[in-house]
Amino acid sequence: MPFFKRFKKPKCSVSLTVPKSTFELGEDLKGAITVSCEDEFDATEVRAELRCAEKKRRERWEYDERRRRNVRRVYWDRATLHSADPKASDELHMLPGFKKTFPISVNIPAGGRESFDGLDAGVSWSIKGVVAIKGRPDVTSETIELQAIRPTAPRAVKEKEVVMIPCEYCGSLMPQTATSCPNCGAARKT
């Protein structure tokens, strides 16, 4: 491989398709990465990169030598709250004319934060497709912004059925796990 070729991306196009742009927290995001090549190279993997990033506006007072007084500086703190890189394929040898679609599935965690954008803070979810190449820049698709929302309906939780038995003294029903009658207070006989 020529020396300067390692600094350039190969001639390859990557596109990521997801069926919708709004997902509930805890839902599986399914999509497909389509790769088509015009160059020959070895790819180490085909993957998707799911990121959740938070930004907060902060202020700090700093002394300005020129003005000889304190000046308020505004800056943005950025943090990655969630990062997932699900693999769609392992190592591949790409040839000119190669075209393939790889299915992907990644879970948006139920404990994650929902998307929002405000004046002083924001949380954003994004996903993109990547063809990783050792020793050369990776080929990436366009980044797709996702909206993560709270689940609309609470998950159905099955409750255990409580078996009721009659009290031997007053005849009222009490749970089988109770040690005394809630009506008359008599101890339960076993």
State which residues form the domain around 13: 3-149
Over residues 58-117, the pLDDT tens digits come to 999 999 999 899 999 999 999 999 999 999 999 999 899 999 999 999 999 988 899 999
Q: Who contacts 3 (Cβ-Cβ below 8 Å, separation ≥6)?
A: none
The answer as to whether 103 is a domain residue is yes
Number of domains into which the chain is organized: 1
Q: Please return the burial class of 150, using the count of CB atoms within 10 Å of its CB with bins 0-12, 13-18 and 19+.
A: exposed
> Which of the pair, 7 or 183, is modelled with greater confidence?
183
Instruction: State pLDDT tens for residues 137-175.
Output: 899 999 999 999 988 776 667 777 888 899 888 888 988
pTM of the model: 0.70
CATH value at residue 125: 2.60.40.640
- In one-letter notation, the amino acid at residue 134 is K
Whether 190 maps to a domain, the answer reads no
